[in-house]
Chain A
Protein backbone atom coordinates (compact mmCIF):
# COMPACT_ATOMS: atom_id res chain seq x y z
CA UNK A 1 0.00 0.00 0.00
CA UNK A 2 3.00 2.30 0.27
CA UNK A 3 3.03 4.94 -2.40
CA UNK A 4 6.10 7.08 -1.80
CA UNK A 5 9.83 7.02 -1.93
CA UNK A 6 11.02 8.26 1.46
CA UNK A 7 12.88 5.84 3.72
CA UNK A 8 13.22 6.71 7.38
CA UNK A 9 14.57 5.24 10.60
CA UNK A 10 12.33 5.50 13.63
CA UNK A 11 13.47 5.21 17.23
CA UNK A 12 10.26 4.54 19.10
CA UNK A 13 9.61 4.29 22.83
CA UNK A 14 8.02 0.90 23.57
CA UNK A 15 6.60 0.18 27.01
CA UNK A 16 4.12 -2.63 27.69
CA UNK A 17 2.32 -0.85 30.51
CA UNK A 18 2.79 1.58 33.39
CA UNK A 19 4.56 -0.99 35.57
CA UNK A 20 7.12 -2.37 33.15
CA UNK A 21 10.22 -0.42 32.14
CA UNK A 22 10.29 0.84 28.58
CA UNK A 23 13.04 1.19 25.96
CA UNK A 24 13.67 2.57 22.48
CA UNK A 25 13.21 0.17 19.58
CA UNK A 26 14.39 0.95 16.06
CA UNK A 27 12.13 0.44 13.03
CA UNK A 28 12.44 1.15 9.34
CA UNK A 29 9.68 3.13 7.66
CA UNK A 30 9.99 2.51 3.94
CA UNK A 31 8.17 3.74 0.86
CA UNK A 32 6.73 6.72 2.68
CA UNK A 33 4.96 9.42 0.67
CA UNK A 34 5.60 13.05 1.57
CA UNK A 35 1.81 13.58 1.41
CA UNK A 36 1.21 11.19 4.30
CA UNK A 37 0.50 12.58 7.70
CA UNK A 38 2.85 11.53 10.47
CA UNK A 39 0.23 9.21 11.91
CA UNK A 40 -0.41 7.66 8.49
CA UNK A 41 3.30 6.92 8.33
CA UNK A 42 2.94 5.11 11.68
CA UNK A 43 -0.11 3.28 10.28
CA UNK A 44 2.07 1.94 7.48
CA UNK A 45 4.73 0.78 9.95
CA UNK A 46 2.05 -0.84 12.13
CA UNK A 47 0.48 -2.68 9.21
CA UNK A 48 3.85 -4.20 8.39
CA UNK A 49 4.40 -5.13 12.05
CA UNK A 50 1.01 -6.85 12.21
CA UNK A 51 1.82 -8.81 9.07
CA UNK A 52 4.97 -10.02 10.82
CA UNK A 53 2.92 -10.97 13.88
CA UNK A 54 4.50 -8.24 15.98
CA UNK A 55 2.53 -5.98 18.24
CA UNK A 56 1.78 -2.60 16.64
CA UNK A 57 3.08 0.63 18.17
CA UNK A 58 0.35 2.02 20.39
CA UNK A 59 -0.41 5.73 20.24
CA UNK A 60 -3.44 7.87 21.05
CA UNK A 61 -5.22 9.49 18.14
CA UNK A 62 -8.79 10.09 17.04
CA UNK A 63 -10.09 13.00 14.97
CA UNK A 64 -6.93 13.44 12.88
CA UNK A 65 -7.89 17.01 12.15
CA UNK A 66 -6.16 18.79 15.00
CA UNK A 67 -9.06 19.43 17.34
CA UNK A 68 -9.75 16.47 19.65
CA UNK A 69 -6.42 16.75 21.47
CA UNK A 70 -5.93 13.00 21.62
CA UNK A 71 -2.66 12.65 19.67
CA UNK A 72 0.39 13.28 21.78
CA UNK A 73 3.76 12.40 20.32
CA UNK A 74 7.06 13.92 21.34
CA UNK A 75 8.96 13.98 18.06
CA UNK A 76 12.64 14.85 17.80
CA UNK A 77 12.50 16.71 21.08
CA UNK A 78 9.31 18.65 20.40
CA UNK A 79 5.73 17.96 21.45
CA UNK A 80 3.77 17.50 18.19
CA UNK A 81 7.01 17.65 16.21
CA UNK A 82 9.11 20.39 14.68
CA UNK A 83 6.43 22.64 13.20
CA UNK A 84 4.68 25.35 15.18
CA UNK A 85 0.97 25.64 15.86
CA UNK A 86 -0.11 22.18 14.72
CA UNK A 87 -0.84 18.85 16.35
CA UNK A 88 0.91 15.60 15.45
CA UNK A 89 -1.97 14.51 13.23
CA UNK A 90 -1.55 17.66 11.11
CA UNK A 91 2.17 17.11 10.68
CA UNK A 92 2.99 15.76 7.23
CA UNK A 93 5.98 13.78 6.08
CA UNK A 94 7.06 16.49 3.65
CA UNK A 95 8.46 18.20 6.77
CA UNK A 96 11.13 15.47 6.98
CA UNK A 97 13.77 14.46 4.48
CA UNK A 98 14.63 11.07 3.04
CA UNK A 99 16.96 9.04 5.26
CA UNK A 100 16.19 11.02 8.42
CA UNK A 101 16.24 9.43 11.89
CA UNK A 102 13.10 10.33 13.84
CA UNK A 103 12.88 9.87 17.61
CA UNK A 104 9.36 9.34 18.95
CA UNK A 105 8.57 9.44 22.67
CA UNK A 106 5.47 9.79 24.83
CA UNK A 107 4.74 12.94 26.86
CA UNK A 108 7.09 12.74 29.85
CA UNK A 109 5.66 14.02 33.15
CA UNK A 110 5.08 12.42 36.54
CA UNK A 111 1.42 13.45 36.38
CA UNK A 112 1.03 11.73 32.96
CA UNK A 113 1.99 8.07 33.54
CA UNK A 114 2.53 5.94 30.43
CA UNK A 115 -0.43 3.71 29.55
CA UNK A 116 1.36 1.82 26.79
CA UNK A 117 4.14 2.78 24.35
CA UNK A 118 3.37 6.35 23.30
CA UNK A 119 0.01 6.78 25.04
CA UNK A 120 -0.17 8.46 28.45
CA UNK A 121 -2.86 8.94 31.09
CA UNK A 122 -4.01 12.55 31.10
CA UNK A 123 -6.94 12.11 33.49
CA UNK A 124 -5.27 14.66 35.80
CA UNK A 125 -6.42 17.31 33.31
CA UNK A 126 -10.02 16.16 33.66
CA UNK A 127 -9.82 16.29 37.45
CA UNK A 128 -8.56 19.88 37.31
CA UNK A 129 -11.50 20.84 35.10
CA UNK A 130 -13.89 18.98 37.41
CA UNK A 131 -12.58 21.02 40.34
CA UNK A 132 -13.83 24.28 38.89
CA UNK A 133 -13.69 24.70 35.11
CA UNK A 134 -17.37 25.54 34.72
CA UNK A 135 -20.13 28.04 35.32
CA UNK A 136 -22.64 26.66 37.81
CA UNK A 137 -25.77 26.93 35.72
CA UNK A 138 -28.37 24.20 35.39
CA UNK A 139 -30.03 23.34 32.11
CA UNK A 140 -32.99 25.55 31.39
CA UNK A 141 -32.55 28.33 33.95
CA UNK A 142 -31.20 30.96 31.60
CA UNK A 143 -32.00 34.33 30.09
CA UNK A 144 -32.15 35.16 26.38
CA UNK A 145 -28.65 34.94 24.94
CA UNK A 146 -28.66 38.56 23.73
CA UNK A 147 -29.46 39.86 27.20
CA UNK A 148 -25.79 39.31 28.01
CA UNK A 149 -24.02 41.63 25.56
CA UNK A 150 -20.27 41.07 25.54
CA UNK A 151 -17.86 43.46 23.79
CA UNK A 152 -16.43 41.80 20.71
CA UNK A 153 -12.84 42.23 21.89
CA UNK A 154 -13.63 40.45 25.16
CA UNK A 155 -15.49 37.66 23.37
CA UNK A 156 -12.61 37.22 20.93
CA UNK A 157 -10.03 37.14 23.75
CA UNK A 158 -12.09 34.61 25.69
CA UNK A 159 -12.36 32.55 22.53
CA UNK A 160 -8.57 32.56 22.09
CA UNK A 161 -8.20 31.01 25.54
CA UNK A 162 -11.09 28.62 24.94
CA UNK A 163 -9.37 27.04 21.92
CA UNK A 164 -7.19 24.88 24.22
CA UNK A 165 -7.58 21.24 23.16
CA UNK A 166 -6.25 19.72 26.40
CA UNK A 167 -3.52 17.74 24.63
CA UNK A 168 -0.86 18.30 27.29
CA UNK A 169 1.88 19.57 24.96
CA UNK A 170 2.47 22.47 27.38
CA UNK A 171 3.26 20.03 30.18
CA UNK A 172 5.45 17.92 27.92
CA UNK A 173 7.38 20.98 26.77
CA UNK A 174 7.98 22.36 30.27
CA UNK A 175 11.13 21.41 32.16
CA UNK A 176 9.02 21.56 35.35
CA UNK A 177 6.10 19.66 33.80
CA UNK A 178 3.89 22.58 34.76
CA UNK A 179 0.24 22.64 33.74
CA UNK A 180 -0.20 26.37 34.24
CA UNK A 181 -0.87 27.18 30.60
CA UNK A 182 -3.62 24.59 30.45
CA UNK A 183 -5.23 25.67 33.73
CA UNK A 184 -4.91 29.36 33.04
CA UNK A 185 -6.61 29.03 29.65
CA UNK A 186 -9.88 27.93 31.28
CA UNK A 187 -9.49 30.36 34.21
CA UNK A 188 -9.00 33.19 31.72
CA UNK A 189 -11.83 32.21 29.38
CA UNK A 190 -14.41 32.15 32.16
CA UNK A 191 -12.78 34.97 34.14
CA UNK A 192 -13.12 37.38 31.22
CA UNK A 193 -16.78 36.68 30.51
CA UNK A 194 -19.64 38.12 32.57
CA UNK A 195 -21.09 34.62 33.00
CA UNK A 196 -17.94 33.55 34.84
CA UNK A 197 -17.76 36.42 37.34
CA UNK A 198 -19.77 35.02 40.28
CA UNK A 199 -17.32 32.12 40.69
CA UNK A 200 -14.22 33.80 39.34
CA UNK A 201 -12.18 33.69 42.55
CA UNK A 202 -13.42 30.40 43.98
CA UNK A 203 -12.78 28.78 40.59
CA UNK A 204 -9.14 29.80 40.36
CA UNK A 205 -8.42 28.57 43.87
CA UNK A 206 -10.09 25.23 43.33
CA UNK A 207 -8.38 24.60 40.00
CA UNK A 208 -4.93 25.58 41.23
CA UNK A 209 -5.33 23.41 44.34
CA UNK A 210 -6.19 20.41 42.16
CA UNK A 211 -3.33 21.18 39.78
CA UNK A 212 -0.91 21.09 42.72
CA UNK A 213 -2.46 17.92 44.10
CA UNK A 214 -1.90 16.16 40.78
CA UNK A 215 1.84 16.77 41.02
CA UNK A 216 2.38 19.23 38.18
CA UNK A 217 5.37 21.52 38.62
CA UNK A 218 5.51 25.28 38.91
CA UNK A 219 5.96 27.92 36.25
CA UNK A 220 9.38 29.54 35.98
CA UNK A 221 8.56 31.68 32.94
CA UNK A 222 10.65 29.87 30.35
CA UNK A 223 7.91 30.07 27.75
CA UNK A 224 8.35 26.62 26.21
CA UNK A 225 4.63 25.96 26.71
CA UNK A 226 3.59 28.94 24.60
CA UNK A 227 6.16 28.10 21.94
CA UNK A 228 4.94 24.50 21.61
CA UNK A 229 1.18 24.97 22.08
CA UNK A 230 -0.57 23.76 18.91
CA UNK A 231 -3.34 26.29 19.50
CA UNK A 232 -0.99 29.20 20.31
CA UNK A 233 -2.40 29.83 23.79
CA UNK A 234 -0.47 32.78 25.22
CA UNK A 235 1.44 33.03 28.49
CA UNK A 236 -0.57 36.14 29.32
CA UNK A 237 -3.20 33.62 30.43
CA UNK A 238 -0.81 32.58 33.20
CA UNK A 239 -0.37 36.21 34.27
CA UNK A 240 -4.13 36.62 34.46
CA UNK A 241 -4.46 33.43 36.47
CA UNK A 242 -1.75 34.51 38.91
CA UNK A 243 -3.44 37.87 39.27
CA UNK A 244 -6.81 36.29 40.06
CA UNK A 245 -5.20 33.74 42.34
CA UNK A 246 -3.38 36.33 44.43
CA UNK A 247 -6.46 38.56 44.55
CA UNK A 248 -8.44 35.58 45.75
CA UNK A 249 -5.90 34.64 48.40
CA UNK A 250 -5.42 38.20 49.68
CA UNK A 251 -8.87 39.71 49.47
CA UNK A 252 -11.50 37.05 48.92
CA UNK A 253 -13.18 34.37 50.90
CA UNK A 254 -12.16 30.75 50.57
CA UNK A 255 -13.60 28.67 47.76
CA UNK A 256 -17.27 28.07 48.38
CA UNK A 257 -20.29 26.10 47.11
CA UNK A 258 -19.83 23.81 44.11
CA UNK A 259 -16.11 24.37 43.81
CA UNK A 260 -15.49 23.37 47.43
CA UNK A 261 -16.34 19.72 47.03
CA UNK A 262 -19.18 17.22 46.97
CA UNK A 263 -22.64 17.72 48.31
Chain B
Protein backbone atom coordinates (compact mmCIF):
# COMPACT_ATOMS: atom_id res chain seq x y z
CA UNK B 1 0.00 0.00 0.00
CA UNK B 2 3.04 2.26 0.02
CA UNK B 3 1.96 3.21 -3.48
CA UNK B 4 -0.32 5.84 -2.00
CA UNK B 5 2.77 7.53 -0.63
CA UNK B 6 3.82 8.50 -4.10
CA UNK B 7 0.66 10.53 -4.67
CA UNK B 8 2.26 13.37 -2.77
CA UNK B 9 4.54 13.58 -5.75
CA UNK B 10 7.46 15.89 -5.34
CA UNK B 11 10.59 14.94 -3.47
CA UNK B 12 10.87 15.55 0.23
CA UNK B 13 7.14 15.94 0.69
CA UNK B 14 5.35 13.85 3.22
CA UNK B 15 1.98 12.51 2.39
CA UNK B 16 -0.63 11.87 5.05
CA UNK B 17 -0.04 8.20 4.45
CA UNK B 18 3.66 8.59 5.27
CA UNK B 19 2.92 10.41 8.51
CA UNK B 20 0.21 7.98 9.55
CA UNK B 21 2.35 4.88 8.94
CA UNK B 22 5.28 6.43 10.81
CA UNK B 23 3.16 7.51 13.76
CA UNK B 24 1.34 4.20 14.01
CA UNK B 25 4.58 2.26 13.65
CA UNK B 26 6.31 4.20 16.42
CA UNK B 27 3.25 4.00 18.67
CA UNK B 28 3.20 0.24 18.16
CA UNK B 29 6.88 0.03 19.10
CA UNK B 30 6.68 2.22 22.19
CA UNK B 31 3.25 1.86 23.74
CA UNK B 32 3.81 -1.54 25.40
CA UNK B 33 7.08 -0.36 26.95
CA UNK B 34 5.51 2.87 28.23
CA UNK B 35 2.64 0.91 29.79
CA UNK B 36 5.10 -1.47 31.44
CA UNK B 37 7.04 1.44 32.95
CA UNK B 38 3.90 3.21 34.21
CA UNK B 39 2.59 0.08 35.88
CA UNK B 40 5.88 -0.45 37.70
CA UNK B 41 4.90 2.60 39.79
CA UNK B 42 1.47 1.19 40.55
CA UNK B 43 0.65 0.95 44.26
CA UNK B 44 -1.80 -1.90 43.77
CA UNK B 45 -0.69 -5.50 43.98
CA UNK B 46 -3.05 -6.33 41.14
CA UNK B 47 -1.07 -5.43 38.09
CA UNK B 48 -4.11 -4.24 36.19
CA UNK B 49 -5.80 -2.12 38.83
CA UNK B 50 -4.38 1.35 39.17
CA UNK B 51 -3.89 2.17 42.84
CA UNK B 52 -1.96 5.41 42.61
CA UNK B 53 1.75 6.12 42.27
CA UNK B 54 4.18 4.27 44.50
CA UNK B 55 7.78 3.11 44.74
CA UNK B 56 6.72 0.07 46.73
CA UNK B 57 7.81 -2.49 44.17
CA UNK B 58 11.23 -0.97 43.84
CA UNK B 59 11.69 -1.25 47.61
CA UNK B 60 10.53 -4.85 47.42
CA UNK B 61 12.95 -5.45 44.60
CA UNK B 62 15.93 -4.29 46.60
CA UNK B 63 15.03 -6.78 49.31
CA UNK B 64 14.99 -9.64 46.83
CA UNK B 65 18.49 -11.02 47.30
CA UNK B 66 18.21 -13.61 44.51
CA UNK B 67 17.18 -10.96 42.00
CA UNK B 68 19.97 -8.60 43.06
CA UNK B 69 22.49 -11.40 42.78
CA UNK B 70 21.27 -12.33 39.31
CA UNK B 71 21.45 -8.68 38.24
CA UNK B 72 25.02 -8.38 39.53
CA UNK B 73 26.00 -11.59 37.72
CA UNK B 74 24.48 -10.29 34.46
CA UNK B 75 26.22 -6.97 34.87
CA UNK B 76 29.62 -8.62 35.35
CA UNK B 77 29.10 -10.97 32.40
CA UNK B 78 27.97 -8.10 30.18
CA UNK B 79 30.91 -5.86 31.12
CA UNK B 80 33.46 -8.67 30.70
CA UNK B 81 32.13 -10.08 27.45
CA UNK B 82 31.52 -6.64 25.91
CA UNK B 83 35.11 -5.61 26.63
CA UNK B 84 36.67 -8.75 25.15
CA UNK B 85 34.21 -8.70 22.25
CA UNK B 86 35.06 -5.08 21.46
CA UNK B 87 38.77 -5.86 21.24
CA UNK B 88 38.30 -8.99 19.13
CA UNK B 89 35.58 -7.44 16.97
CA UNK B 90 37.67 -4.36 16.24
CA UNK B 91 40.65 -6.50 15.25
CA UNK B 92 38.39 -8.55 12.99
CA UNK B 93 36.96 -5.41 11.40
CA UNK B 94 40.45 -4.02 10.72
CA UNK B 95 41.51 -7.31 9.13
CA UNK B 96 38.39 -7.48 6.97
CA UNK B 97 38.44 -3.90 5.74
CA UNK B 98 42.20 -3.31 5.49
CA UNK B 99 43.65 -6.78 5.00
CA UNK B 100 42.31 -7.05 1.45
CA UNK B 101 42.17 -10.62 0.22
CA UNK B 102 43.88 -13.07 2.55
CA UNK B 103 43.74 -16.80 2.86
CA UNK B 104 40.61 -17.97 4.61
CA UNK B 105 38.95 -14.56 4.38
CA UNK B 106 35.72 -16.06 3.07
CA UNK B 107 35.48 -18.46 6.00
CA UNK B 108 36.40 -15.66 8.39
CA UNK B 109 33.69 -13.27 7.21
CA UNK B 110 31.21 -16.13 7.05
CA UNK B 111 31.92 -17.04 10.67
CA UNK B 112 31.46 -13.40 11.65
CA UNK B 113 28.18 -12.84 9.81
CA UNK B 114 26.49 -16.16 10.61
CA UNK B 115 26.02 -15.66 14.38
CA UNK B 116 24.10 -12.42 13.69
CA UNK B 117 21.12 -14.41 12.42
CA UNK B 118 21.85 -17.91 13.72
CA UNK B 119 19.02 -19.12 15.95
CA UNK B 120 20.19 -18.80 19.53
CA UNK B 121 19.19 -22.35 20.42
CA UNK B 122 21.81 -23.66 17.99
CA UNK B 123 24.58 -21.34 19.19
CA UNK B 124 23.76 -22.12 22.82
CA UNK B 125 23.60 -25.87 22.40
CA UNK B 126 26.80 -26.08 20.35
CA UNK B 127 28.78 -24.01 22.86
CA UNK B 128 27.48 -26.07 25.75
CA UNK B 129 28.60 -29.30 24.05
CA UNK B 130 32.05 -27.76 23.58
CA UNK B 131 32.27 -26.75 27.25
CA UNK B 132 31.17 -30.21 28.35
CA UNK B 133 33.75 -31.81 26.04
CA UNK B 134 36.44 -29.52 27.46
CA UNK B 135 35.23 -30.38 30.95
CA UNK B 136 34.97 -26.69 31.76
CA UNK B 137 33.19 -25.71 34.93
CA UNK B 138 30.03 -23.92 33.84
CA UNK B 139 29.31 -20.52 35.29
CA UNK B 140 30.54 -16.96 34.90
CA UNK B 141 33.31 -17.68 32.41
CA UNK B 142 31.43 -20.03 30.13
CA UNK B 143 28.56 -17.54 29.80
CA UNK B 144 31.05 -14.71 29.23
CA UNK B 145 32.84 -16.65 26.49
CA UNK B 146 29.55 -17.54 24.83
CA UNK B 147 28.40 -13.92 24.89
CA UNK B 148 31.76 -12.73 23.61
CA UNK B 149 31.46 -15.08 20.64
CA UNK B 150 28.02 -13.71 19.77
CA UNK B 151 28.61 -10.02 20.39
CA UNK B 152 32.05 -9.69 18.78
CA UNK B 153 30.30 -10.26 15.46
CA UNK B 154 28.04 -7.25 16.07
CA UNK B 155 31.05 -5.15 17.07
CA UNK B 156 32.88 -6.25 13.91
CA UNK B 157 29.96 -5.17 11.70
CA UNK B 158 29.59 -1.77 13.40
CA UNK B 159 33.33 -1.00 13.30
CA UNK B 160 33.72 -2.36 9.78
CA UNK B 161 31.03 -0.07 8.40
CA UNK B 162 32.83 2.87 10.00
CA UNK B 163 36.20 1.76 8.62
CA UNK B 164 34.70 1.44 5.16
CA UNK B 165 33.67 5.09 5.25
CA UNK B 166 37.17 6.35 6.11
CA UNK B 167 39.38 7.45 3.27
CA UNK B 168 42.33 5.06 3.11
CA UNK B 169 44.54 7.73 1.64
CA UNK B 170 44.73 9.25 5.14
CA UNK B 171 46.58 6.19 6.42
CA UNK B 172 48.70 6.10 3.28
CA UNK B 173 49.62 9.75 3.70
CA UNK B 174 50.73 9.10 7.29
CA UNK B 175 52.96 6.27 6.10
CA UNK B 176 54.36 8.29 3.24
CA UNK B 177 55.31 10.84 5.91
CA UNK B 178 57.29 8.18 7.75
CA UNK B 179 54.89 6.44 10.15
CA UNK B 180 55.17 2.68 10.39
CA UNK B 181 51.80 0.87 9.97
CA UNK B 182 51.03 0.40 13.70
CA UNK B 183 51.78 4.06 14.34
CA UNK B 184 49.68 5.14 11.35
CA UNK B 185 46.83 3.05 12.68
CA UNK B 186 47.07 4.44 16.20
CA UNK B 187 47.53 8.04 15.14
CA UNK B 188 45.14 8.24 12.19
CA UNK B 189 42.67 5.37 11.97
CA UNK B 190 41.94 4.65 15.63
CA UNK B 191 40.80 8.17 16.59
CA UNK B 192 38.40 8.11 13.64
CA UNK B 193 36.78 4.81 14.61
CA UNK B 194 36.56 5.42 18.38
CA UNK B 195 32.85 6.37 18.20
CA UNK B 196 32.08 3.13 16.37
CA UNK B 197 34.10 1.19 18.95
CA UNK B 198 32.15 2.86 21.76
CA UNK B 199 28.85 2.10 20.00
CA UNK B 200 30.01 -1.48 19.47
CA UNK B 201 30.78 -1.90 23.16
CA UNK B 202 27.35 -0.56 24.13
CA UNK B 203 25.64 -2.87 21.69
CA UNK B 204 27.64 -5.86 22.97
CA UNK B 205 26.83 -4.91 26.56
CA UNK B 206 23.08 -4.64 25.98
CA UNK B 207 22.94 -7.82 23.90
CA UNK B 208 24.67 -9.72 26.67
CA UNK B 209 22.41 -8.19 29.32
CA UNK B 210 19.43 -9.26 27.23
CA UNK B 211 20.32 -12.82 26.34
CA UNK B 212 18.24 -15.62 27.80
CA UNK B 213 18.71 -18.59 25.49
CA UNK B 214 22.49 -18.81 25.17
CA UNK B 215 22.97 -18.08 28.87
CA UNK B 216 20.50 -20.82 29.81
CA UNK B 217 22.52 -23.37 27.87
CA UNK B 218 25.98 -22.31 28.98
CA UNK B 219 25.47 -21.41 32.62
CA UNK B 220 25.86 -23.79 35.54
CA UNK B 221 24.04 -24.23 38.83
CA UNK B 222 24.33 -21.22 41.08
CA UNK B 223 25.13 -18.75 38.31
CA UNK B 224 21.76 -17.36 37.32
CA UNK B 225 21.68 -14.32 35.07
CA UNK B 226 18.98 -11.68 35.24
CA UNK B 227 17.08 -12.79 32.10
CA UNK B 228 17.02 -16.40 33.34
CA UNK B 229 15.63 -15.18 36.66
CA UNK B 230 13.06 -12.90 34.99
CA UNK B 231 12.05 -15.68 32.61
CA UNK B 232 11.32 -18.14 35.40
CA UNK B 233 9.27 -15.49 37.21
CA UNK B 234 7.38 -14.47 34.06
CA UNK B 235 6.36 -18.05 33.43
CA UNK B 236 4.53 -17.92 36.74
CA UNK B 237 2.67 -14.77 35.77
CA UNK B 238 2.85 -11.00 35.84
CA UNK B 239 4.18 -9.43 39.04
CA UNK B 240 4.64 -5.71 39.75
CA UNK B 241 8.14 -6.47 40.98
CA UNK B 242 9.09 -7.73 37.53
CA UNK B 243 7.76 -4.49 36.04
CA UNK B 244 10.10 -2.65 38.39
CA UNK B 245 13.24 -4.61 37.44
CA UNK B 246 12.32 -4.32 33.75
CA UNK B 247 11.97 -0.55 34.15
CA UNK B 248 15.42 -0.36 35.75
CA UNK B 249 16.96 -2.35 32.88
CA UNK B 250 15.23 -0.09 30.34
CA UNK B 251 16.56 2.97 32.18
CA UNK B 252 20.10 1.58 32.15
CA UNK B 253 19.89 0.82 28.43
CA UNK B 254 18.43 4.29 27.74
CA UNK B 255 21.44 5.89 29.44
CA UNK B 256 23.79 3.72 27.36
CA UNK B 257 22.01 4.69 24.14
CA UNK B 258 22.25 8.39 24.97
CA UNK B 259 25.98 8.00 25.59
CA UNK B 260 26.36 6.06 22.33
CA UNK B 261 24.44 8.64 20.30
CA UNK B 262 26.51 11.45 21.84
CA UNK B 263 29.62 9.55 20.77
CA UNK B 264 28.15 9.25 17.28
CA UNK B 265 27.48 12.98 17.28
CA UNK B 266 31.10 13.69 18.15
CA UNK B 267 32.08 11.50 15.26
CA UNK B 268 29.74 13.22 12.80
CA UNK B 269 31.15 16.54 13.92
CA UNK B 270 34.55 15.18 12.97
CA UNK B 271 33.50 14.00 9.58
CA UNK B 272 31.03 11.58 8.16
CA UNK B 273 28.26 10.24 10.32
CA UNK B 274 28.58 6.78 11.75
CA UNK B 275 25.47 4.68 11.57
CA UNK B 276 25.10 2.79 14.84
CA UNK B 277 24.00 -0.27 12.93
Bound pair: A and B?
Answer: no
Interface residues in chain A, defined as those with a beta carbon under 8 Å from any beta carbon in chain B:
none
Interface residues in chain B, defined as those with a beta carbon under 8 Å from any beta carbon in chain A:
none
